[in-house]
């Protein structure tokens, strides 16, 4: 029986992919730097993994048929860290790779994720590229959650729309890709509608019974805030590039890929907000 290695299991997307694969009856090897939080079941086997430790590659890839590949977040050095792993996967007989890239990564050949895409597409491995938009879960469990906890979101997003997508939908697509195995396919993944950050936080305010305010700021102010919070300079520049795309309206487009690949419409932001309202209510109570 096939076993899929899922990298980044400790993140929102990785854990959702593990769940989606198990729902389809696929065995999983769940990779993370620390495995003590991974629930061991008959279908999920934890394994210690770090792209920067090549000594861990063999144990992670042994008897693996496919890999769900997630890059280290906001990392300009991701290609140098991941390409040796891709090469090792091919050497060890991995047959299929699904790579989680990002929407618009293919618009810039110097984008780190695009460099990884190119390496995979030219590697001889059967591979599928997923390019999702910003995650809805950023608001509930990701980088935007602390700002919502404080009732104020400061971003250089202007009034630009974003077709936010839930990691649940990305995970369902990934699981479908391991079943269908359409080698070389590339899918742009979005929600069904585009919302500005102002519109998004108004929905959050409505379902949580609290007031959250979006403040559009300049790129330089956002960069300065990130530096004051101790964010690495490479990650800061990465974020600046992403939100430049948002301000230009380039992250507002929608696709029907989720429905086509899973048979279900993507989760709407309102549905996501209703399901996660208790998280924001608890932050208010705290």
- In tens, the pLDDT along 11-36 reads 899 999 999 999 999 999 999 887 76
- Model pLDDT, residue 286: 47
Mean pLDDT across 177-193: 90
Residue 167: predicted pLDDT? 98
Pair 125, 97: CB distance under 8 Å: yes
Residue with tokens 């989606």: 20
Residue 226 CB neighbour total at 10 angstroms: 17
Interatomic CA distance for residues 106 and 82, integer angstroms: 18
Can you name the residues that pair with 6 across neighbouring β-strands? 30, 68
What digits encode the pLDDT tens for the residues 105-159?
A: 999 999 999 999 999 999 999 999 999 999 999 999 999 999 999 999 999 999 9
Indicate whether 282 pLDDT > 80: no
**Cα 78 to Cα 112: distance, rounded to the nearest angstrom:** 6
Q: Helix or strand or coil: residue 18?
A: helix
Q: Which of 46-50, 179-183, 223-227 has the lowest mean pLDDT?
A: 179-183
pLDDT of 95 strictly over 50: yes
237 pLDDT exceeds 50?
yes
Average pLDDT, the chain: 93
Structure letter (DSSP) for residue 143: T
> pLDDT-derived band of residue 38, with 50, 70 and 90 as boundaries?
low
| Least reliable range by pLDDT among 35-49, 55-69, 89-103, 229-243 | 35-49
* Residue-level pLDDT at 50: 95
Model confidence at 182, in pLDDT bands (50, 70, 90)? confident
**3-133+165-189+253-262 classified as CATH 3.40.50.720:** yes
pLDDT at 37 over 90: no
51 in helix, strand or coil?
A: coil
CA atoms within 13 A on the CB side of 213: 3
pLDDT for the residue 1 = 67
54, 84 contact by CB (below 8 A): yes
Q: How confident is the model at residue 66 (pLDDT cuts 50, 70, 90)?
A: very high
How many other CB atoms are found less than 10 A from the CB of residue 115? 19
What tokens appear for 259 in the block?
Answer: 């429905």
CA distance 251 to 246: 5
Please give the pLDDT value at position 39.
Answer: 66
What is the structure's pLDDT at 284? 56
**Does the pLDDT value for residue 83 go beyond 90?**
yes
* CA within 13 Å, CB half, 262: 21
């Amino acid at each position: 029986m096939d076993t899929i290695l899922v990298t980044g299991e400790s993140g929102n997307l990785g854990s959702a992919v593990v769940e989606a694969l198990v729902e389809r009856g696929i065995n999983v090897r769940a990779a993370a730097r620390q495995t003590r939080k991974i629930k061991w079941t008959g279908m999920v086997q934890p394994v210690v993994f770090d792209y920067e430790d090549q000594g861990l590659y063999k144990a992670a890839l042994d008897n693996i048929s496919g890999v769900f590949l997630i890059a280290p977040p906001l990392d300009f050095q991701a290609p140098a860290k991941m390409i040796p792993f891709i090469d090792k996967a091919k050497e060890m007989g991995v047959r299929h790779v699904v790579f989680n890239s990002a929407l618009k990564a293919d618009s810039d050949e110097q984008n780190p994720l695009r460099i990884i895409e190119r390496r995979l597409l030219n590697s001889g491995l059967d591979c599928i590229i997923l390019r999702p938009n910003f995650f809805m879960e950023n608001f509930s469990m990701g980088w935007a959650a602390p700002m919502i906890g404080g009732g104020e979101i400061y971003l250089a997003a202007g009034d630009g729309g974003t077709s936010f997508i839930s990691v649940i939908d990305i995970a369902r697509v990934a699981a479908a890709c391991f079943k269908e195995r359409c080698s070389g396919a590339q899918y742009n993944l979005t929600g069904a509608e585009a919302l500005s950050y102002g519109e998004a936080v108004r929905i959050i305010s409505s379902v949580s019974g609290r007031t959250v305010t979006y403040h559009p700021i300049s790129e330089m102010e956002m960069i300065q805030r990130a530096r004051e919070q101790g964010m690495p300079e490479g990650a800061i520049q990465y974020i600046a590039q992403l939100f430049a795309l948002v301000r230009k309206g380039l992250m507002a487009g929608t696709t029907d890929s989720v429905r086509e690949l899973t048979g279900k419409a993507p989760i709407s932001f309102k549905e996501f907000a209703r399901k996660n309202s208790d998280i924001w209510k608890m932050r208010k109570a705290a």
